[in-house]
Amino acid sequence: MISRPTVARFKQYLVFMNSYADLRGDRATEIMTQMNGTLAFLSAIPFLNPARTPYTFELLGAALRLANFAEMRFKQALASRRANEYSPQVQPMILTPSHSSFPSGHATEAFTSAYVLWRLLQTSGSPPYGHISWRNQLMRLASRIAINRTIAGVHFPVDSAAGCFLGIQLGRYLWRLGAGLPNYPAYRFIGTNYPWGNPPPNDGDFYWEVIFDRLNLLGPPVPYIANLGVQPLTPSPILRWLWRKARSEWR
């Protein structure tokens, strides 16, 4: 479940658009390339190649479709204005998408893919994939992709936070289905409780580590993420088969 911040709070978050715009010169090429998707960037971390890991690509394709279907439903329901509708000074460096700003689709898709890929590597049982550095690098890249959309002027940091939350949850849902697990932990993102004006990480900017740690019970509670308990999963034989085939490519 996800709820959005108030209009007044979105206007307060405009301060980040101005500061992030300073990075446009450094990130322009990267931002333009990521307009067509994020998988090519995530593929640079583990040894992904269509001839070597076809089932992994098929699994990631399923993850991206799940993320896209979910994010678009939330965008339609929450109907949040883009930053350039609040201020003429935003001036995005790329064409602003026509759909709602919240949550960020790029953040959702990047974190869904990163989470699924991390779990696939981790559960393969092959060294060195059990090391935490693989998780961290995948999550850092997903975070960079999300932040690039703020730099471009098309997303607030809170959009990325909600997208990170949704992406991790979708990735976990897909992983647990593929692994044949019986349930998954459910959470709610409460946009009206997203912070503003306090010292980092409560200044209103986007910090993936705080969200990841809370969703995995590695960090303290935060007011904008609520635990909704454990939900059952209906087994998916097809996804279970695909997960096994993809995992075998890393052994």
Q: For the chain, give every domain's residue range.
A: 2-248
Give the model's confidence band at 251: pLDDT under 50 very low, under 70 low, under 90 confident, else very high. confident
Number of H helices, E strands in the chain: 10, 3
| Region 2-248: CATH code | 1.20.144
Cβ distance 175 to 135 under 8 Å? no
Considering only CA atoms, which of 150, 19, 156 is closest in space to residue 78?
A: 156
pLDDT above 90 covers a percentage of the chain that reads 92
Mean pLDDT of 206-226: 95
pLDDT tens for residues 37-58?
A: 888 888 889 999 999 999 999 9
Instruction: Take residue 8 and report the two structure tokens written for it.
Output: 């007044």
- Helix (H) or strand (E) holding 226, with range, is strand 225-232
pLDDT tens for residues 68-87?
A: 999 999 999 999 999 999 99
237 alpha carbon, distance to own chain's centre: 26
pTM metric for this prediction = 0.95
Instruction: Give the integer Cα–Cα distance in Å for 160 and 26.
Output: 20
Cβ distance 174 to 62 under 8 Å? yes
Look at residue 160 in the predicted model and tell me its pLDDT.
98
